[in-house]
Amino acid sequence: MRYKQVIISIVCVLGLSVGVTQYDKLMNKKDENSSSDDSEFEVPPEDRPGNRGDGGGRDPNNSPELCPQMDKPLLALVPQKNFGYTLASHPTFWLYIPGYSKSIDFTLIDDKTEDKIYQTNFNVESERGIISLKLPPAAPPLMVGKEYRWLFVFNCGDGTKDLLADGVVARNKANDSLSSRLNSATTVMEKIDIYAENGLWHETITELGNLRRSNPDDVAIKTKWNSLLQQKYIRFENYDLTSEPIQDCCDVGGQ
């Protein structure tokens, strides 16, 4: 009888020990998740053909093409799936410019009909770094539910072959829940988290990029910016864009 009581006691202790171990693992996992960046961008499942960053080198077996003054190719700052959602009728696009060019051509095309929606040309008046281009008021507004292909053609000059980056943007309409959350947000950082959770790429990078440009010494903003650019399915191989300055470029006005 005493032997059975000892066995039962050992089993109980072992069971308690296993239970505590499982609980510790669960709590550790919860802590790990809690310490992750709350604003991690929710990459949409959509995948579109595009060329966000090979600088015109379409063949993956070949090195990317460069302008003579470049050491790295042109990049369009979009997720690796070459696709991004927006709520805006006139969204903002972000590029990494690794050198000076005479000009950049921007074209917007209906991705279904292939009709040209808008085209403009602007000069790059900045040093190497990250720039943004807002679709100007003169351009037709993006329609909700439609997909548009955008193309940036980088003019190297001196007869050198131009470089291309392209991808797809689609405009969504905010539902009541999303609108309510955005209206209730008290800071830009809160809005950025909401945009990121809902896979709104153009709002996420634009709001965060503008904050980073205006507050280059803010540690919290820098951390969030770095986290976004280094996130899986967004980061660019062989680049450290987190160290690149965000330039004041480019004003295309009412073109």
Same-domain pairing of 82 and 194: yes
Check pLDDT > 50 for residue 138. Answer: yes
For 205-226, write each residue's pLDDT tens digit: 999 999 999 999 999 999 999 9
How buried is 228 (Cβ within 10 angstroms: 0-12 exposed, 13-18 middle, 19+ buried)?
A: buried
Same-domain pairing of 212 and 98: yes
Instruction: Please tell me which residue, 61 or 251, carries the higher pLDDT value.
Output: 251
CA gap 166, 239 in Å, rounded: 19
Other C-beta atoms within 10 Å of 94: how many?
Answer: 18
- pLDDT number for residue 111: 92
Assess if residue 51 is contained within a domain.
no
Residue 55 Ramachandran class (φ > 0 left, ψ -120 to 50 alpha, else beta): left
Same-domain pairing of 239 and 130: yes
Instruction: Please tell me which residue, 43 or 56, carries the higher pLDDT value.
Output: 43
Same-domain pairing of 79 and 31: no
Assess if residue 113 is contained within a domain.
yes
Same-domain pairing of 133 and 192: yes
Same-domain pairing of 124 and 196: yes
- pLDDT number for residue 25: 37
CA gap 73, 179 in Å, rounded: 38
Listed residue (127, 126, 124, 172) closest to 148, CA to CA: 172
Assess if residue 45 is contained within a domain.
no
Per the structure, the count of domains in the chain is 2
Same-domain pairing of 14 and 105: no
| Helix pair angle (188-197, 201-214), 10° resolution | 150
Same-domain pairing of 92 and 26: no
Same-domain pairing of 223 and 108: yes
Residue 56 Ramachandran class (φ > 0 left, ψ -120 to 50 alpha, else beta): left
Same-domain pairing of 137 and 218: yes
Listed residue (151, 181, 176) closest to 165, CA to CA: 151
Retrieve residue 66's tokens.
């460069």
- pLDDT number for residue 195: 97
Q: Alpha helix locations (H) across the chain?
A: 2-35, 176-184, 188-197, 201-214, 219-229
Assess if residue 59 is contained within a domain.
no
- pLDDT number for residue 94: 95
Torsion angles phi and psi, residue 16, rounded to 5: -65, -40
Same-domain pairing of 31 and 88: no
Same-domain pairing of 30 and 81: no
For 86-131, write each residue's pLDDT tens digit: 999 999 999 998 766 668 889 999 999 999 999 998 877 667 889 9
* Residue 39's pLDDT band (cuts 50, 70, 90): low
**Of 23-27, 228-232, 238-242, the least confident:** 23-27
CATH of residue 175's domain is: 2.60.40.1220
Residues 6+ apart with CB under 8 A from 148: 108, 109, 110, 111, 117, 142, 168, 169, 170
Range of the domain at 134: 75-243
Assess if residue 58 is contained within a domain.
no
